Structure 1
Amino acid sequence: MTYDRSEAELARTLTGAADAAPPPVGDLLAAVQRRRGRRTRRRVQSALAVAGVVAVIGGGTAVARGFFSSGGGEGQTLSAATATATATATATASAGPTEAAEPRRVAIRPAAEVWPAAVTKIPVKAADGWRYRPVTGLSATELLLVAESSFEKAGRLEVYDTAAGTSTVLADMPTPEGVKGYFVQDVEAGAEYVAWWGETPNNSDKWADFWVVPRAGGTAKQVGQVTGDLSEVERIGVTADSVVWSAAGGGIYRMPLAGGSPEKIAGTDGLHLMSWPWATDVAKEGGGEAEQKNQTKVVNLETGQAAEVNVPAGVQGLRCGPVWCFGKEKDQENDASVVQRVDGSDRKSPPDLSLWGGERSLARGFGFFQISGVVGRDARGEEIEDAQAPLAAVYDPATGTAAGIGRRDPSGGGSYGTGTSSSPTSILYWDEGQRQVEKCRKVDATSVPHPPGEPVPTGKVTSCTTTTEGGGKELTVVNLLAVPPTE
């Protein structure tokens, strides 16, 4: 749930996403003989580099926008545009012969069928027109929401009762006096308090502050401020007497709710907060090599106990909670997923589920995966997609149950969002009324960028632009706190 920090930091985020992304359109044109051979992977290049995202999927290069993307500004929350150019049958090479595969269906049912009690509808906006941004579940029937007066400008916290269909204001989220360019960042729900932090992301100041309000509601209180490296907040948590957070460079700190100086929690060098009291030895963010790094320990900061992660050979990007881990197999074109317990037991590779970056873990030990939708190839080597397949899935590792998230457009596009809490969220959501519309036109191949040193394409290509239209009335929400316990 992170707002814009700075252009430099945003550039680092996009660079990290690019490190993990497939080749751009230019490479596709230069190797047109592959045509749409890996179209789906390009399509689902959702840059899940920021917390609380809406992944917008479509066309040849997908764009994912953070719900609290990385700073303040105006714009459409549930919108993105993608463009791709696909070569037609011209003077360039055509697809080689490929053995056709028998098409099948993705065997993952929608969440509304798997966990009907966990799926509900909420309005996109409050009665006064402020737009809601889901954060996480507070109970099986209560959702924590941020109401924004304008894009990424948080103004208040509300609790939406899905049983009654009503919303209650929890607290206003004030701007500190005398602070310009202030934006609220991550929100975290604790047992007794709800906490959040803010910063001035569009200037060079290294400064942040922390706020709390009783979970029952009331007046928000500024706990304190930090500067320097301590202001590079990664995740936050809140206990009965302190705000806790991890810094981007490692180390976990606390500050008393009554006010006072921050102090480092002993023994937390190199650790990163996951969800209080749990910490890990891998950072929250990171693309490229950092994303492929395996987690090796899970630490309970209350007891000091550390569990070593049994990392199997051939696995990368393994991320673990207190019980379950999620990663992927190395050197697998389809990003085959790996699920296991921290000690390495109960290892499995669920079909049709892939990890392509972003948050792997959700609340209550659930995993979060992408679904490519590819079910085979035709005689020309073209990918065949299941147009009814969900875009993503929540996976219950205890039972092996997968529940589909989001609705795929006929073109293969679509969008979904994850709740914007600091800890792994219990909320996923999407706009059923939203559609991606693709418009195509013929253009000269010479007008499309191509890799340096490669021959200039000739003939005509089809240039397509995908835009998001419709929706904006209600969100379909999956609240994992309403899923019956299985372990």
Structure 2
Amino acid sequence: MNNDRSEAELVRALNRAADTAPGPDGDLLTAIGGRRRRRVRRRAQSALAVVGVMAVIGGGTAVARGSFSHRGGEGAALAKVTATQSSAGENTRKAEKLKVDIRPAAEVWPSAVSTIPAKAADGWKYRPITGLSATELLLSAESSFEKAGRLESYDTVTGKSTVLADMPAPEGVKGYFAQDVEVGAESIAWWGETPNNSDKWADFWVVPRAGGTARQIGQVTGDLADVERIGVTADSVVWSVGGGGIHRIPLNGGTPEQIEGTDGLHLLSWPWAVDVAQGRGGEDQDKNQTKLVNLETGQTAEVHVPDGTQGLRCGPAWCFGGGVVQRVDGSERKPMPPELYTGGMGTTSLAGGFGFFSVPGVVGRDARGEEVEDGDAPLAAVYDPATGTTAGVGKRDRSGGGSIGTGVSSSPPSIIYWDEDQRQVQECKMVDAASAPRPSGEPTPTGKTEMCSTTQKGGGKKFTVVNLLAVPPAE
């Protein structure tokens, strides 16, 4: 084989692996790259273009979360993940007749599933944030991609929306984008920044939960502007920073101060703090959480980490990681259901102690050894460790991928949503090999090579939403 042919084939192989990564699109909820069933891609390590809160490789082989936690229209962020075979893929029985045994959320929790419009009456696009109650959702309305302009509440019973507040940019600040929103008992708060310049600057806003005029309560610079997550109490906005430490500023304005005893801590959801970073790239995914701190009471709970476990993460009720679920003290430990993907970056904690997992959809292998997928399997699943209930969410398209998103609240979200009518379309064309991406320093190849891209088509009219605040309590 001559050198030209070898180089062209290298480029072609890289392109084939890369076409699982959808590019940025203003209509995307979450990028889920469809995987064509080719042996060359089955175990390829690829870079995902993440344009939402989390991303899943088509075919359900891996998940990346938290790679794009802030707005600003800056395009795609990259997260490297390695495709990992599901335990279901070991099944060599009549795979084509097997199905993933996960019931859809609409059957498991019918009262928690609703359909809402994807746009406001004036054409601004909705982005779900979190649940306000069992029948109310908090939405942001965006005038352009990731440019939030106002907050609205949506009643899933009446189908009516109510404007709560505008989300203005501070005067004289260019390139400003509102960031994560947090709901408190009496107030709704959010923070903003200028993500496309080098300034280390952020500000904080608050509005009554019932609606009204938003107020900027303060600005911060330097390390204090490296905001991870925020919370809102009766009298303050609190936030943690990337280097650790939790700070607060009064709702009526004033000087920011660090909460005593919070060195090295990161906010999870007020009043809870943990000892692993939560945002902006987060912590080493294999690092285990070792403590859970109640900032109101000062009480610290030590996490009981099983031997050999990696990546254990805990909320106030449950811990997920390393293929197990347990209480913080190690009690009620059990393995995760095998149909859920739990490796690497494969879990997300949701509000109420629920877990959010990718569903591989792989049910076995055919006579040639190729993986066979259940095309009707959900893209992901919500898992309730208290009852062992698993509910499927998202719609898998013919490419094996699709799109799904979680709410953009600062705390672990209480809603999951997707567009039933959105689909992925792969387009391929032959180009000069010299124009195709190739590793730095490699010789310029000659000849032609195939380049493929995956884009989102259709949809944009309505979202299907699962509101976990509407899930009936366990008996």
TM-score by length of 2: 0.81
Q: State how far apart, in whole Å, the 2-side matches of 1:193 and 1:422 are.
A: 14
1:127 correspondence with 2:121: yes
Distance apart, 1:448 and its partner CA: 6.7
Assess, with a 3 A threshold, how the Cα gap between structure 1 residues 343 and 245 changes in structure 2: closer, same or farther: same
Aligned to 1:165: 159
Aligned to 1:340: 326
Secondary structure of 1:113's counterpart equals: helix
Q: State how far apart, in whole Å, the 2-side matches of 1:396 and 1:454 are.
A: 49
Aligned to 2:94: 102
Q: State how far apart, in whole Å, the 2-side matches of 1:354 and 1:47 are.
A: 20
Assess, with a 3 A threshold, how the Cα gap between structure 1 residues 42 and 476 changes in structure 2: closer, same or farther: farther
Assess, with a 3 A threshold, how the Cα gap between structure 1 residues 153 and 380 changes in structure 2: closer, same or farther: same
1:474 correspondence with 2:468: no
Over residues 202-254 of structure 1, what are the superposed CA-to-partner deviations in whole Å (9 max), with x where a residue is unaligned?
11111111110010111111111111111111000000000000011100011
Secondary structure of 1:267's counterpart equals: coil
1:368 correspondence with 2:356: yes
2:203 alignment partner, one of 209, 216, 221: 209
Moved more, 111-120 or 338-347: 338-347
Aligned to 1:316: 310
Aligned to 1:142: 136
Over residues 52-92 of structure 1, what are the superposed CA-to-partner deviations in whole Å (9 max), with x where a residue is unaligned?
526375499999898976442398x9xx9xxxxxxxxxxxx
Distance apart, 1:483 and its partner CA: 0.2
Q: Is the 8 A contact 2:428 2:452 kept in 1?
A: yes
Instruction: Tell me the matched-pair count.
Output: 429
Aligned to 1:351: 338
Aligned to 1:234: 228
Over residues 89-130 of structure 1, what are the superposed CA-to-partner deviations in whole Å (9 max), with x where a residue is unaligned?
xxxxxxxxx994431211111111111110101101000011
Q: State how far apart, in whole Å, the 2-side matches of 1:146 and 1:204 are.
A: 26
Distance apart, 1:138 and its partner CA: 0.4
Aligned to 2:239: 245
Q: Is the 8 A contact 2:417 2:466 kept in 1?
A: yes
Identity percentage of aligned residues: 73
Gaps of 5+ in 2: 1-11, 18-36, 79-89
Aligned to 2:402: 414
Aligned to 2:295: 301
Assess, with a 3 A threshold, how the Cα gap between structure 1 residues 324 and 47 changes in structure 2: closer, same or farther: farther
Gaps of 5+ in 1: 1-23, 30-34, 81-97, 329-336
Letter in 1 for 2:333: R
Q: State how far apart, in whole Å, the 2-side matches of 1:483 and 1:61 are.
A: 28
Moved more, 377-386 or 280-289: 280-289
Assess, with a 3 A threshold, how the Cα gap between structure 1 residues 438 and 357 changes in structure 2: closer, same or farther: same
TM-score by length of 1: 0.79
Aligned to 2:55: 55
2:108 alignment partner, one of 114, 117, 120: 114
What aligned pairs does 1:171-210 form with structure 2 within 5 A after superposition? 171-210=165-204
Q: State how far apart, in whole Å, the 1-side matches of 2:266 and 2:325 are.
A: 22
Letter in 2 for 1:346: E
Letter in 1 for 2:382: V
Q: State how far apart, in whole Å, the 1-side matches of 2:43 and 2:114 are.
A: 30
Secondary structure of 2:329's counterpart equals: coil
Over residues 289-313 of structure 1, what are the superposed CA-to-partner deviations in whole Å (9 max), with x where a residue is unaligned?
7111110111000000011111112
Over residues 313-347 of structure 1, what are the superposed CA-to-partner deviations in whole Å (9 max), with x where a residue is unaligned?
2221111001100112xxxxxxxx32111111222
Letter in 1 for 2:340: L
Q: State how far apart, in whole Å, the 1-side matches of 2:306 and 2:49 are.
A: 27
